[in-house]
Structure 1
């Protein structure tokens, strides 16, 4: 191996090592918060939107996409959480046509009677709650919580969700569920994140499905 080739090889090894080191340092300085959402009786609440808003909002970000399917005369999933600036498509994979709409101030829109996938997704560019329905099938309903942060998730059947990659700083941890009376604000608590993983519990004033009081 010639000297110039050897020096190039060593430089690439060094640069690769720096990249790995930088990635390790970045991951080591980020924390994960494990959140449990329950009702007043301690019963877990599924499909709650949970999100951590930095006190100093993040700047920009790449465009994001999501999908809400129509099948068996239902919207799937029932609950969707997205960051502001996300484009959502609404494919109709059902055996009948649907007419999807929302009158919610955060994003009023209408997709007139159609099958298949509309050519243009809908851009959700304002934070807030969006309730969607079908103008043909009144029983069809779904909820979209648009949040101004990349740090979000949705609780599972145990009422738990983990939010990863939180850098050090101050946040407002919020939880919202579609059973909260409108226009109830999300439940929130202040959060100070360092380098260590954390846990948090939030209580919503609703009755969990299957819960008892």
Structure 2
């Protein structure tokens, strides 16, 4: 047993020693930063076992007759809360393949939840208010973030070696509103700049 624990510890230390921080910069065709792009990295060596957890709250608020945030990144198996802070009732739903669900009408200061079990996208709407639109990106990797206004994210401790870098955005032109690139991650800090056409019509429910 002690030998097994020692081997596991050595493996973990070796993996940590050969991991680097990756900065990803997302830009549109004119070179401007893109907000709300979901950046994911899938190392060729695989994803560590165990549940994936993120530092941000898994929460999609309804306030002022809109969803907040516009894009939310959620791990597979993550349970999202849907608090209603409006004075009117909402009925949240998604018809997206693999992530279909519906939450019946509920009122102010009430909260409902839903667990997302399939990687992909859930385009959200409200049966009462057609103008409400948001997206939940369900991911199966711990190396995932959403770009802020700067268009830059830093993914910490990505295993060195070959990996697939993916960018998703509701207005990214292309199949599934996604683009991918094979990259090589090194133990030293690295940077990738991704440019794309973000003028497509937003993905709909």
Q: Indicate the TM-score class for this superposition, using the shorter chain for normalisation.
A: 0.7 to 0.9
Q: How many residues align?
A: 187
Q: Which residue of 110, 117, 124 corresponds with 2:111?
A: 117
State whether residues 53 and 149 of structure 1, in contact with CA within 8 Å, keep that contact through their aligned partners in structure 2. yes
TM-score normalised by L of structure 1: 0.79
Deviation digits for residues 20-70 of structure 1, max 9, x if unmatched? xx9998755431111111111111111100010122432542365711111
Give the Cα separation in 1 of the matches to 2:89 and 2:46. Answer: 40
Q: Which residue of 2 aligns with 1:12?
A: none
Aligned Cα root-mean-square deviation (Å):
2.5
Give the Cα separation in 2 of the matches to 1:56 and 1:126. Answer: 22
Is 1:52–2:41 an aligned residue pair?
yes
Give the Cα separation in 1 of the matches to 2:99 and 2:176. Answer: 18
| Residues 1:68 and 1:159: Cα distance change in structure 2 (over 3 Å) | same
Q: Which segments of 5 or more consecutive residues in structure 1 lack a partner in the other structure?
A: 1-18, 209-213
| Residues 1:136 and 1:182: Cα distance change in structure 2 (over 3 Å) | farther
State whether residues 187 and 202 of structure 1, in contact with CA within 8 Å, keep that contact through their aligned partners in structure 2. no
Deviation, structure 1 residue 76: 0.6
TM-score normalised by L of structure 2: 0.82
Deviation, structure 1 residue 98: 0.4
Higher Rg of the two aligned structures: 1
Give the Cα separation in 2 of the matches to 1:24 and 1:163. Answer: 19
State whether residues 52 and 76 of structure 2, in contact with CA within 8 Å, keep that contact through their aligned partners in structure 1. no
Q: Which residue of 2 aligns with 1:169?
A: 161
Q: Which segments of 5 or more consecutive residues in structure 2 lack a partner in the other structure?
A: 1-8, 201-205
